[in-house]
Amino acid sequence: MSIRVFIPTPLRPYTEKQDTVEVDGSTVEEVLKNLTLKYHPLRQHLYSEEGLLRSYVNIYVNENDIRYLAKEKTPVHETDSISIIPSIAGGIDVEVETEEEVGLSNEEILRYSRHLIIPEVGLSGQKKLKAASVLLIGAGGLGSPLALYLAAAGVGKIGIVDFDVVDETNLQRQIMHGTSDVGKPKLESAKKSIKDINPNVTVETYPVRLSSENALDVLKDYDVIVDGTDNFPTRYLVNDACVLLGKPNVYGSIFRFDGQITVFDSKRGPCYRCLYPTPPPPGLVPSCAEGGVLGVLPGIIGTLQALETIKLILQEGEPLIGRLVLFDALKFSFREFTLKKNPECPVCGTNPTIHQLIDYEQFCGIAPIAKSKINFHEPEISVEELKQRLDRGDDLFLLDVREPNEYEIANLGGYLIPLSELPERVSELNPVQEIVVHCKSGGRSARAVKFLQQNGFPKVMNLAGGITAWSQRIDPRIPRY
């Protein structure tokens, strides 16, 4: 019996770029087993070394999470479909000032006139928007359309947490920033853009890295929190802080051509941990910097987050509480899945075990910087030292672990084996040769070095900073991307 399996963008490289595949099986377990037999590289992304289905990969039969059915023993029939959803986060009462406490000037009435003539918004709803406060975590791809549309809609106070500066690579998707802003703090250009759209909006900026020490203080005075982050430790941090404070969390995530959006609210539905109890191991799920993202995608998902935020404030429509929407830009398809509150969730379940914020980098398997320097076992070589050794003719083997499309953009002439293919192609390398591994900035190559060391390669080094550092400090003719 053949079952259709939907493959998300991050996993399509392992299924010959197919978005759906037909696999035989009468249960989820049989289907997934046959799927990974047919596409062997996919197995490490679905199953742990112990052979258990990874907890950060959710499997749905039609629109139902198998965790609330018969798990992997869930039977399937020819009319069913299976969806793999990896992690890449009636109305609701939002506590804002009463409409009597705010007023609208004649200028504001004219500005928001298209809102005011909508019965579901009207004068009362526009006052709710003006009285509301929304905190955006991140001023990047998702934060840009969020900030601009919330400001245009008349949200009275917008807070933004970000500590980064504008880089040329941001401009392809982060529409809040321009070419003249390169090198400047993102908060500076963000505030300028917001004020230019709507000078009536109060903008609070937080030039800090959100942490367990400051998150509760930063989030506590806002009505709605919108998560536009790009890393797992901050995702879990924001979720737990929202649960502890009783705040709704408008979640969005993007990768390549895929987007996810939902509203987490532990008072009325599940939280992020209910969907993804544990994070993926460091490095297994690539970031947008490593895997890329279509520039328009954060505009789509960020705008949908802005829509959900406005609905929460207005207390109109049906927020995405308990519903996860997946957007596939290549197929232009939206699919909705039901999310359920996990009674055993450690932060929002029946008997929670998390009552305060924890060390989220440790939880996600990321060693603190200070410790990582002490315990760092992957030997490194700087771009300057590599240049010197190449110039004097040392016998070095350059191994490039990026993807083929990255190699086409820029390369150092190294031997290309993408990191995902390294376990199956390791026999192509000479274990007695001195190998220098590199990627774009050093993350993937560090993982490759560790893998090679564990498999009998004693003379292997990581190029610190990768090809980006080589372009910046050795040869600017090499394009940066």
User: What's the domain count of the chain?
Assistant: 3
CA distance 447 to 284: 10
Q: Return mean pLDDT, the chain.
A: 91
For every residue of the chain, which 3-state class applies, written as one string?
Answer: CEEEEECCHHHHHHHCCCCEEEEECCEHHHHHHHHHHHCHHHHHHHECCCCCECCCEEEEECCEEHHHCCHHHCECCCCCEEEEEECCCCCCCCCCCCHHHCCCCHHHHHHCHHHHCCCCCHHHHHHHHHHCEEEEECCCCCHHHHHHHHHHHCCCEEEEECCCECCHHHHHCCCCCCHHHCCCEHHHHHHHHHHHHCCCCEEEEECCCCCCCCHHHHHCCCCEEEECCCCHHHHHHHHHHHHHHCCCEEEEEEEECEEEEEEECCCCCCCHHHHCCCCCCCCCCCCHHHHCECCCHHHHHHHHHHHHHHHHHHCCCCCCECEEEEEECCCCEEEEEECCCCCCCCCCCCCCCCCCCCCHHHHCCCCCHHHHHHHCCCCEECHHHHHHHHHCCCCCEEEECCCHHHHHHCCCCCEECCHHHHHHHHHHCCCCCCEEEECCCCHHHHHHHHHHHHCCCCCEEEECCHHHHHHHHCCCCCCCC
**Residue 20 resides in a domain:** yes
- The span from the CA of 62 to the CA of 358, in Å, is 35
Q: Quick one: 346 and 392 in the same domain?
A: no
Structural domain containing residue 456: 377-473
Whether 335 maps to a domain, the answer reads yes
Cα–Cα distance measured from residue 112 to residue 134, given in angstroms and rounded to the nearest whole number? 19
User: Residue 54 — pLDDT band, cuts 50, 70, 90?
Assistant: confident
How much is the pLDDT for 284? 63
**Residue 116 placed within a domain:** no
Domain harbouring 409, CATH code? 3.40.250.10
Classify residue 139: in a domain, yes or no.
Answer: yes
Same domain, 39 and 157: no
Phi and psi at residue 356, to the nearest 5°? -150, 165
pLDDT number for residue 373: 38
The pLDDT of residue 283: 62
**Contact call for residues 328 and 336 (beta carbons, < 8 A):** no
- pLDDT of 367: 53
Q: What is the pLDDT of residue 95?
A: 53
Residue-wise pLDDT tens digits, 418-469: 998 999 899 999 999 999 999 999 989 999 999 999 999 999 999 999 999 9
Global pTM reads 0.74
Say if residues 103 and 26 touch (Cβ distance below 8 Å).
no
Span of 97-101, 305-309, 395-399 with lowest mean pLDDT: 97-101
Residues 386 and 302 in one domain: no
HSE-CB of 4 using CA atoms within 13 angstroms: 8
Residue pair 232/279 in contact (Cβ under 8 Å)? The answer is: yes
What per-residue confidence (pLDDT) applies to 456?
Answer: 92
Once rounded to an integer, what is the mean pLDDT over residues 387-393?
95
More confident residue, 294 or 285: 294
Residue 102 has pLDDT above 90, yes or no: no
Domain termination residue (choose one: 321, 345, 367): 367
CA 348 – CA 240 distance, rounded (Å): 9
Separation of alpha carbons 271 and 236, rounded Å: 10
Same-domain status, 391 and 342: no
CA-CA distance, 33 to 16, in Å (whole number)?
17
pLDDT exceeding 90 applies to what percent of the chain? Answer: 78
**Which residue, of 306, 338, 367, is where some domain finishes?**
367
Give the model's pLDDT for residue 175.
95
Task: Look at residue 43 and tell me if it is in a domain.
Answer: yes
Residues 337 and 393 in one domain: no
The enclosing domain of 7 has a CATH number of 3.10.20.30
What token pair was written down for 71?
Answer: 């798990």
Residues 334, 420 share a domain: no
Q: What is the pLDDT of residue 126?
A: 97
Span 135-163, average pLDDT? 97
pLDDT > 70 in the chain, percent: 93
Q: pLDDT-based confidence at 230, cuts 50/70/90?
A: confident
Judge if 349 and 409 occupy the same domain: no
Confirm if 443 and 283 have CB atoms less than 8 A apart.
yes
Residues 355 and 406 placed together within one structural domain of the fold:
no
Q: What is the pLDDT of residue 369?
A: 40
pLDDT band at 289 (very low <50, low <70, confident <90, very high): low
**In a shared domain, residues 150 and 66:** no
pLDDT digits (tens, 9 = 90+) for 335-384: 999 999 999 999 999 999 999 999 998 888 765 543 333 344 579 999 99
pLDDT band at 1 (very low <50, low <70, confident <90, very high): confident
In this structure, the answer to whether residues 302 and 447 fall within a common structural domain is no
> Does residue 6 sit within a domain?
yes
Full strand arrangement of the beta sheet holding 460-463: 380-381, 460-463, 435-438, 397-400, 415-416
Q: Which of 26, 58, 86 is the endpoint of a domain? A: 86
Whether residue 153 lies inside any domain: the answer is yes
The CATH number given to whatever domain includes residue 226 is 3.40.50.720
pLDDT score, position 404: 93
> What is the structure's pLDDT at 8?
86
Q: What is the mean pLDDT of residues 186-208?
A: 97
> In this structure, are residues 156 and 129 in contact, taking their beta carbons and an 8 Å threshold?
yes
In the chain, the amino acid numbered 456 is G
Average pLDDT of the residues in 275-280:
88
Evaluate whether residue 122 is within a structural domain. Answer: no
Q: State the pLDDT at residue 286.
A: 65
Q: What angle do CA 7, 12, 13 make, to 5 degrees?
A: 160
pLDDT tens digits, one per residue of 235-258: 999 999 999 999 999 999 998 899
Are 255 and 288 contained in the same domain?
A: yes
349 and 448 assigned to the same domain: no
Active site residues: 288, 439
- pLDDT of amino acid 273: 95
Residue 13's pLDDT band (cuts 50, 70, 90) = confident
**Residue where the block lists tokens 């969907």:** 275
